[in-house]
Amino acid sequence: MIVPFSGERRRRKRGAEMTPSGRSAALAIKEPMHQCAESQQTLLLPQANKYRTLRIVLVKPSQYDDDGYVTRFWKGVLPSNTLSVLRGLTEDIKERRALGDIAIQVDTFDEVAEKIPVAQIVKWSRHPSTKLVVCLVGVQTTQFPRALAMGKQFREYGIDVMIGGFHTSGTINMLGDQGPDIQELYRESIVVVSGEVEGHWEGILADLLNGQLKPLYSFAQDLKNLVDIEKAPLPVISPKTMKHFARPNFGTVETSRGCPFSCSFCTIINVQGRMMRERSPEAITDLIRRNFSERGINFYFFTDDNFARKKWWRETFESIIRLREEGIKITFMMQVDLAHKPQDFVRLAAEAGCTQVFVGMESVNPDNLKAQGKGQNKVDEYQAIIREWHDVAVAVHVAYIIGLPFDTKAQVALDIQYLIDEIQADQVSFFMLTPMPGAQDHLEMIERGEWMDPDFNKRDSFHPTTRHPHMTAEEWTSAYEAAWKSFYGKENLTKVLSRWSHDPYTYWNLFNLYVWYKNAALIEKQHPMVAGFFRLKDRLTRRSGFSIDPLPVHLWKRTKEICRLFVAWARFVKEMEEIWLQTRPRSERERQFFDEVQRIQGEIWQTLKIAEWQKAYSDVKTAMPAKARALLDPFEELSSKLLLSRNDLNAFLKKWGSLQAKIQTLQRGWAWGDGPAKKWLEQIQALHRDAWQGMKVHEWQAVYSGFKGRLPSRLDLRYARFDALSNRMVCSRQDLNTFQTRTRGRLSGMRFWNFQPFRFAGTFFKEFLLIITFARSVFASFRSELPRAIQQ
């Protein structure tokens, strides 16, 4: 069966449940494509009476990494929609007693976050009155090698195995069943399912119980007459599987299937068709109500390939809005296109609880869009469309393809900067252009005889698998990795989060998404849509062709990897702390106070010409002797001090006034010659003398006297500083970083007399307090389920 997975167009996961037959390879290869022969009287033959239990094991395979290990994480992020759909179809058969009195039991496993208990499954299959089948569902092309290996493993124990998903469906629809991958499945007596199984699932299971499984079940060849899903059974979430995911209150559902557009890289239209087929709004609200009351599910990913082209989009939104009025206040994200939306679409989406939209932008180069048949995307309309979503407090997540025909390494860098500076998307998922079975591009490449990497495991959109006309594989990879680093760098994330600091819900939603994405793409080196948190590696589960390391060797390798991971996470946490300090949502009182302090301190700093002093000192600092720097470094630190009271002002002016004496000490104590340091001393002495004459001390003191009783919490101000160069107040951990760097330098240089134990202890306390405060803020954001606008 094909059902949408929680991902975007290229990474869509579709699920199919099937069971293998024991037919010979020759017969499997020769037999034509079948549909189930379903009797209106009964589906089961007498030989099925020997079974009292039908046990269906639904497995969503993962993929192998470059070292041959299965990609698995301690906690997953995106659950598989396919597992829920197949479980729902099976539960419906059970409730209707479509297979008679036989007991039906369903087990679900998502390998991205669960180890598949092969030994346990084999043990289940040994029960004499139980018929067990393993269904490898939602298999994408990159997951096919892992799915095939698992299928072979279960077949060795005589267990029936089925496989379905977008790989088998797209391959058979576009290329037929004579390819080596499908033929290998036939030879292993693994049953192949192509297409959607609503209306056919009970027939396939009956064939299983009757011992009459066919090698191939194909339901997707006539794209104009696909199954009507309006009243199809609803997905059923597995609480056991969701315990392995970071957010157990996360649900997925596809309210519609298909897409009317004709993008040449897309597999959706050649498997699910271009005609929109929809679940009824009543069915969607029934699902949401049931999941909310039974499972506490209050966030959804609507995995429709294009929600905006649904016929019943208005009715669906209005039904969800009515649920909100009942107190069932869910939020959701959905996939839409960048074409103009129907009237009221954006407004109603926000009122229904939409917090993020995922759009297939693909490129900011019109030539690339034209080459891929993406004519509905108009680059000159991108900004207005994103602004329309932002106006209703909905964040925009775009899909962006690198490796389109007119891309070069240099041009990609320019395009990404344009995406950051001008388009101002809130989140981006980058993909390498990858030919997938089921796409028109893939078919045409085969017809032209173009090279494609034969290893399906690399068809994951983050490996180059074709020859690009303008980039080598290395350049292509470099451009792809640079795109992630550029968009998810500290500078851009600070800008994006600053734009949302007025909206705490959206701010924290994006912040947590950035934690996931940066960890996956830049630390774990995985695409975020297939990644989770903390990579696990099973020593004994390794791809064929890779040796199994002895236990001591494996443990030593993993120890080093985990140590490197923890070091990377430490840097990562510090970076996210810095971003949070600079952008965190503040109360109205805090904002007003900060604005006033920034105004008056900016005036003081301008009068004292501190920015000019800082710039001049940084230009000559490296040319000065260490002891000279030791005299002046405290003034550099002083220049970033935040003044919060009249006493702070007086203490600062007193210390800054001693600068003149320090400069005279330096002039007398060293023979400077005519180098840049001497010129700097003369320049800074003149700056200091002129600035001191223009001070308005009494006016400043009066302003600071008025701050008494208006200060925010000292905790909020502990990490605040003044940036003289930008003339503004910032919250930053820069002082901590500077002191730590300077301390490491002194200790490594054996300058123990410069070590400051009391300041070191104070800095350690501030570091500890910052970590605790930051962690509490992040965890508190998980408990805030509703947008501020909805709560009011």
263-280, pLDDT tens digit by residue? 888 888 888 888 889 999
- The mean pLDDT of 162-178, rounded to a whole number, is 93
Residue 334 Cα distances to 8, 302, 719, angstroms: 10, 5, 38
Which three-class secondary structure string do you get for 362-427? ECCCHHHHHHCCCCCCCHHHHHHHHHHHHCCCCEEEEEEEECCCCCCHHHHHHHHHHHHHHHCCCE
User: Rg (Cα) of the chain, in Å, rounded?
Assistant: 31
Give the E-state strand segments of 664-763 in sequence order: 720-723, 728-731
| Largest Cα span, the chain | 109
- pLDDT surpassing 90 at residue 528: yes
3-state helix, strand, coil in the chain (%, to 5): 50, 15, 35
Q: Which of 167, 172, 197, 177 is nearest to 56 (CA)?
A: 197
Helix residue ranges, H only, 250-379: 281-295, 313-325, 345-352, 366-371
Count of beta carbons in the 10 Å neighbourhood of residue 611: 17
Question: Residues 696-748: pLDDT tens digits?
Answer: 778 888 887 777 666 666 556 666 666 666 666 667 777 777 777 777 777 77
When the pLDDT of each residue in the chain is averaged and rounded to a whole number, the result is 84
Residue with tokens 């180890």: 115
pLDDT at 17: 32
Count of beta carbons in the 10 Å neighbourhood of residue 568: 14
- pLDDT band (50, 70, 90) for residue 65: very high
pLDDT at 785: 47
pLDDT at 712: 63
Question: Residues 114-143: pLDDT tens digits?
Answer: 999 999 999 999 999 999 999 999 999 999
Question: Residues 366-377: pLDDT tens digits?
Answer: 999 988 888 788
**End-to-end Cα, the chain, rounded Å:** 43
Which residues face 332 on adjacent strands? 300, 354
Cα separation, 640 vs 617, in Å, equals 14
- The mean pLDDT of 762-778, rounded to a whole number, is 81
Cα separation, 340 vs 385, in Å, equals 8
Structure tokens at 755: 């070590």
Structure tokens at 62: 């993962």
Cα separation, 726 vs 159, in Å, equals 68
By the 8 A CB rule, do 721 and 734 touch?
yes
- Residue 365, C-beta contacts closer than 8 angstroms, at least 6 positions apart: 379, 404, 406, 407, 411, 415
- pLDDT surpassing 50 at residue 33: no
Residue 631 Cα distances to 221, 625, 637, 759, angstroms: 80, 10, 12, 17
Cα separation, 425 vs 387, in Å, equals 9
Q: The whole model's pTM is what? A: 0.83
Question: Residues 202-249: pLDDT tens digits?
Answer: 999 999 999 999 999 998 777 888 888 888 999 999 999 999 999 889
By the 8 A CB rule, do 210 and 239 touch?
no
Question: Residues 426-461: pLDDT tens digits?
Answer: 999 999 999 999 889 999 999 999 999 999 999 999
pLDDT at 192: 96
- Residue 703, C-beta contacts closer than 8 angstroms, at least 6 positions apart: 600
By the 8 A CB rule, do 20 and 212 touch?
no
Structure tokens at 301: 């990913």
Question: Residues 39-63: pLDDT tens digits?
Answer: 434 688 888 889 999 999 999 999 9
Residue 96 Cα distances to 132, 436, 643, angstroms: 20, 38, 73
Q: Angle 180-187/144-156 helices, nearest 10 degrees? A: 10
- More confident site: 338 or 321: 321
